[in-house]
Structure 1
Amino acid sequence: MDGMQVIDWDLAVATGTRLVRPGPQVSREEARQAVADLRRLSRVAEGHVREFTRIDTETAPQPATIVDRPGWIKANVDGFRVVLEPLTTRMAERRDQTPAIVSAVGSRVTGVEVGAVLAFLASRVLGQYELFLPPDPSGKEAAGRLTLVAPNIVNAEHELNVNPQDFRLWVCLHEETHRVQFTGVPWLREYVRSQMTEFLLASDIDLPTLLGRLRSAADAVAEVVKGGDGNLIDAIQTPEQKVILDRLTAVMTLVEGHGDYVMDAVGPSVVPSVADIRAKFHHRREGGSRLDRMIRKLLGVDLKMKQYAEGSAFVRTVVDRAGMDGFNKVWTSPETLPDQEEIKHPERWIARVIGAPALPEASGTTG
Structure 2
Amino acid sequence: MDLTRSLRAIADAADAPEGVIDWDAVAEAAKGGCEPGDLRMEPAERAAFADDVRAARDGLRAASGVEFDLPDSVEVQHRHHWIDANVDTFRRVLAPLEEHAGGVFPGVARSINSGTMAVSLAFLARNVLGQYDPLLLAGADETDHGLYFVRPNIRAAAVELDVGYPRFRRWIAFHEVAHAAEFGAAPWLPGYLEERVEEGIGALSEGVSLFGAGAQSREAFRELNTAMTAVEGYAELLMDRAFDDEYDDLRAKLDARRRGGDPITNLLKRLLGFGMKRRQYERGAEFFAAVADRRDLRTASLVWERPENLPRDEEFDDPGAWIRRVA
Distance 1:191 1:29 in 2: 38
Which residue does 1:232 correspond to in 2? none
Amino acid paired to 2:261: G
Following TM superposition, by how much is the alpha carbon of 1:342 offset from its aligned partner in structure 2, in angstroms? 1.3
- Aligned match of 2:34 in 20, 23, 32? 20
Q: Distance in 2 between matches of 1:205 and 1:16?
A: 29
Match of 1:67 among 64, 68, 77: 77
> Structure 1 residues 36-45 or 176-185, which shifts more?
36-45
> 1:174 Cα deviation (Å)?
0.6
Alignment partner, residue 318 of structure 1: 291
| Aligned residue type for 1:150 | R
- Pick the aligned partner of 2:218 from 242, 252, 265: 242
Structure 2: 5+ residue stretches without partners: 1-16
Q: After superposition, where does 1:211-222 map in structure 2 within 5 Å? A: none
List alignment gaps of at least 5 residues for structure 1.
Answer: 93-97, 211-236, 355-367
Over 3 Å counting, the alpha-carbon distance change for 1:206 and 1:309 in structure 2 is closer
Runs of 4+ in 1 over 6 A off after TM superposition: none
Q: Which position in structure 1 is the counterpart of 2:111?
A: 108
User: Which residue is 2:7 aligned to?
Assistant: none
1:340 to 313, 319, 323: 313
Match of 1:85 among 73, 95, 98: 95
Percent identity reads 33
SS of 2:127's equivalent in the other structure is: coil
Partner of residue 132 from structure 1, selected from 132, 135, 138: 135
Number of the residue aligned with 2:61 = 50
Determine the structure 2 residue equivalent to 1:293.
266
Q: Could you tell me which amino acid in structure 1 is paired with residue 80 of structure 2?
A: P
Return closer, same or farther for 1:327/1:276 CA change in 2, 3 Å cut-off.
Answer: closer
1:302 shift after superposition: 1.3
- Determine the C-alpha separation between the residues in 2 that align with 1:140 and 1:29: 32
Asked if 1 retains the 8 angstrom alpha-carbon contact of 2:287 and 2:317, the reply is yes
User: 1:312: Cα distance to partner?
Assistant: 0.8
- Corresponding letter in the other structure for 2:79: R
Q: Aligned pairs, how many?
A: 311
2:6 — aligned with what? none
Residue 275 (structure 2) aligned to one of 287, 292, 302? 302
Distance 1:41 1:56 in 2: 18
CA-to-partner distance for each residue in 1:249-295, whole Å, 9 max, x for gaps?
A: 1111111111111122123xx124x2222222222221110111111
Contact 2:73 2:145 in 1 (8 A): no
What is the aligned partner in structure 2 of residue 271 from structure 1? 245
TM-score, with normalisation over the residues of structure 1?
0.77
Q: Return closer, same or farther for 1:4/1:84 CA change in 2, 3 Å cut-off.
A: same
Is the CA contact (8 Å cut-off) linking 1:15 and 1:112 kept in structure 2?
Answer: yes
Q: Distance in 1 between matches of 2:197 and 2:207?
A: 20
Alignment RMSD (CA, Å): 2.6
Q: Does 1:258 find its partner at 2:261?
A: no
More moved, 187-196 vs 60-69? 60-69
Summarize deviations over 1:86-129 as a string: whole Å, max 9, x none: 4444x28xxxxx45x44333233211111110101110110011
1:280 is aligned, of 242, 253, 262, to 253
Q: Distance in 1 between matches of 2:122 and 2:44?
A: 25
Query: Bigger radius of gyration, 1 or 2?
Result: 1
Q: State how far apart, in whole Å, the 2-side matches of 1:135 and 1:174 are.
A: 23
Task: State the alpha-carbon separation in 2 of the partners of residues 102 and 33 from structure 1.
Answer: 54
Check 1:240–1:281 CA distance in 2 against 1; reply closer, same or farther (3 A cut).
same
Once residues 351 and 265 of structure 1 are traced to their aligned partners in structure 2, the CA distance between those partners, rounded to angstroms, is 24
**Structure 1 residue 318: deviation in Å?**
1.5
Superposition deviation, residue 64 in structure 1: 2.0
Q: CA deviation at 1:171?
A: 0.4
**Equivalent of 1:76, from 86, 92, 115?**
86
Task: Give the SS at the match of 2:149.
Answer: strand
